[in-house]
Amino acid sequence: MMNMNNVFTRGELIKIQETIKNNKLYKQELNFKIIVIGDYGVGKTSIIRRYTEGEFSTDYRITIGADFAIKTIEWDEGTRINLHVWDIAGHERFGSLLSVFFRHAVAAAIVFDLTRPDTFKSVDKWLIDLRRKIQAPDGQAIPVVILANKGDIIVKTVPQEIDEYCKLNNILAWYITSAKNNMNIDEVMIRLTNAAVKNHYGLQCSLITEEPIRLSDNTLNNTQEGRKCC
C-alpha cells in the first residue's frame, strides 16, 4: 500500500518490480533512431528496404528529403526495440540542410559505393557533419559504422586506407555490404543496435533508483528519457 506522502521506499519498489517481472506484465519498449547517410546513389534506401521489407529493386528513385522505416526487434525476454531507421537523401542539392534529421540518433551508418571510389572520399565529410551535429546523451560520439556497398558487383575497390581511417576516427566497424544479395545487412543493424543498447542509459536502469520516487513528479511515466542512470 502507498504511504502517506505518495512516496515508495526502495523496498516497496523492489517488491513491485518483482511482481511485475514474475507475472510477465511488463515488457520494456525502447525506441532507437539509426540514421543512414552517404552520397546519392550509394544504396542507402536499398539497404533500409532490404532490412525492413526484405526487398530489393534495381530502379533508382532518388530520395527527396528524408524518410524512415521501423523494424521491431524482440531483443530479449524483457525488451522490445523499435528501430527507426532514417534514410537521409544524399544528393548535393540538399547540402547539409538535412542534418536536422540527425537529431536524437543513437547510431549511424555511413555508406559508400564500391563502384564509385569518390563516394569513399565523401565519407569524411559526412562523418565531420555528423559528429558536429550530434552526440550521445553522455556527450560521447555516437557509434558509427562504414558500409562499402554493392559488394555483389566488385570488392577489389575497397580502399586500402579504410582500416586506418576507422582506427583514427573512432569508427566501430566497416563492412562490405550488398542490398541486392542481402550481404551483411542484418549484421550491421544488430551491431549498431547492440552498441546503442550498451550506451543507452534507460536500458541499464531498472525502475529502482537510489532515491525514493515521488509519483507526483511523474517520474514513473518517464520510462525512456529523463530517468537517472543507476
Binding site for ligand GTP (CB under 6 A): 40-46, 57-60, 62-63, 89-91, 149-150, 152-153, 178-180
**In the structure grid, which three cell numbers stand for residue 71, read together?**
523494424
- Is the distance from CB of 228 to CB of 209 less than 8 angstroms? yes
Residues pairing with 107 in the sheet? 34
* CB-nearer residue toward ligand GTP: 58 or 160: 58
- Minimum CB distance to ligand GTP, residue 31 (Å): 23
CA distance 94 to 110: 17
Selected range binding Mg ion among 39-47, 125-133, 143-151, 162-170, rule: CB under 5 A: 39-47
- Minimum CB distance to Mg ion, residue 40 (Å): 8
152 binds, among ligand GTP, Mg ion, none (CB under 5 to 8 A by kind): ligand GTP
* CB-nearer residue toward ligand GTP: 33 or 150: 150
Q: Strand 144-149 relative to strand 173-176: parallel, antiparallel, unpaired?
A: parallel
Alpha carbon separation from 91 to 40, 72, 154, 178, 225 (Å, rounded): 5, 29, 23, 21, 33
- Is the distance from CB of 59 to CB of 46 less than 8 angstroms? no
| Sign of the CA dihedral running 87, 88, 92, 94 | positive
CA distance 30 to 106: 12
Selected range binding Mg ion among 60-68, 78-86, 183-191, 215-223, rule: CB under 5 A: 60-68
91 binds, among ligand GTP, Mg ion, none (CB under 5 to 8 A by kind): ligand GTP
Residue 165 CA to chain centroid, in angstroms? 21
60 binds, among ligand GTP, Mg ion, none (CB under 5 to 8 A by kind): ligand GTP
- Minimum CB distance to Mg ion, residue 67 (Å): 8
- Minimum CB distance to ligand GTP, residue 85 (Å): 12
Quick check: 63 binds Mg ion (CB under 5 A)?
yes
| Binding-site ranges for Mg ion (CB under 5 A) | 44-45, 63
